[in-house]
A and B are shown apart, each in its own frame.
Chain A
Amino acid sequence: MRARVFVLLKPSVFDPQGQTIADALHSMGYETVGDVRQGKYFELELRSSSADQARSLAAEVADKLLANPVIESYRVEVDQ
């Protein structure tokens, strides 16, 4: 079973990399692009017997390692 974990800086935390990418896009002429936030994406292969179990395991490892709760939040998706 595969889980996908998306980690992003919290909205309250300034993202200098995202800002730099947004500035680059604007200088390329993409004036309709607004804010850009850069994050991390993880694919986890899990030996779980149910989607709920996989979701719970992915959230546990995100809490412990993949995301730093001081500055980041995360979202988990599980393939059915």
Chain B
Amino acid sequence: MTFAVIVFPGSNCDHDAYHAAKHVLGQNAQFIWHKETSLKGADVVILPGGFSHGDYLRTGAIARFSPVMTAVAEFARTGGPVLGICNGFQILLESGLLPGAMLRNRDLKFHCEHVRVRVEQVDTPFTARATRGQVLELPIAHGEGNYYADPDVVRDLESSGRIVFRYCTADGEISEAANPNGSLNNIAGICSEGRNVVGLMPHPERACESVLGSADGLVLFESVIATAGAFVGQGAVRTA
């Protein structure tokens, strides 16, 4: 399986994602510069963390207009699995591939720490190997991870089971104290209507080896490796 890691000017977790896919999981991985217009036959697309275009204007606001995003949107439309991590999630929100927007963290601080998230849905390509209610320990590193959407959008996300990860305690309890940034309903990650596009603020790619403090992020990669083929064609015919 080939992972495409999209590289924007200012991406800084691109090598972490490449390392996880290639060296930890033994898959093919390739970097794709944001000026490219093709994903070069990739089976999975990762929009990595970082500070694309210096976070100027709004996080992800300028990256969404990069030429490669047309190919990413087409790949997503045809059912291809897309994972947006941190700044990658922000880019997915700005591009409209996922609903909502990010605000500054409630306390205006940049949070760089390990948090716990609870897996809420296991019918996405990135959580199929997890169990519902499983608690993952993952690092976060962001100043703008305070997820916001209009109340009717949040209701729709809840009722259609599109909230994939929520910030929680070590016991899996959803509480305000476990919410690092003020996100509505403790939302740490969501998926698209077709469920193939997933975005989350925590960094699974930085938690794939126990020497890094946690290997809980592995399950996202193992899930997509195990099931990517099964999701192809869901809701749309994939031609690429």
**Total count of chain A residues near the partner, CB < 8 A:** 11
Contacts of B182 in A (CB 8 A): 14, 16
Of the candidates A17, A65, A68, A70, which one forms a contact with B104 in the assembled complex, judged by CB atoms under 8 Å apart?
A: A17
Of the candidates A16, A20, A65, A66, which one forms a contact with B103 in the assembled complex, judged by CB atoms under 8 Å apart?
A: A16
CB pair B57 A70 closer than 8 Å: no
A-B contact count (CB 8 A): 36
B:75-133 near A, CB below 8 Å? 93-94, 99-101, 103-108
- Secondary structure type dominating chain B contacts: loop
Given that A16-B106, A70-B148 are contacting pairs, would A65 and B61 also be in contact in the complex, using a CB cutoff of 8 Å?
Answer: yes
CB pair A20 B108 closer than 8 Å: yes
| B25 within 8 Å of A (CB atoms) | no
User: Which of A13, A20, A68 is most buried by chain B, counting CB atoms within 10 A of its CB?
Assistant: A68
**Total count of chain B residues near the partner, CB < 8 A:** 21
User: Which of B62, B94, B103, B150 is most buried by chain A, counting CB atoms within 10 A of its CB?
Assistant: B103
Q: Tell me the minimal C-beta distance from A41 to chain B in angstroms.
A: 13
CB pair B103 A13 closer than 8 Å: yes
- Chain A 2-18 per-residue mask, 1 if CB under 8 angstroms from chain B, else 0: 00000001000110110
Q: Which 7 A-B pairs have the closest CB atoms?
A: A70-B101, A71-B101, A16-B108, A68-B101, A16-B104, A16-B106, A68-B58
* Known interface pairs A13-B103, A13-B148; 10 further A-B residue pairs with C-beta atoms within 8 A, sorted by A's residue number: A14-B103, A16-B103, A16-B108, A16-B146, A17-B104, A20-B108, A65-B57, A65-B65, A70-B148, A71-B101
- Report A's interface with B, CB cutoff 8 A: 9, 13-14, 16-17, 20, 65-66, 68, 70-71
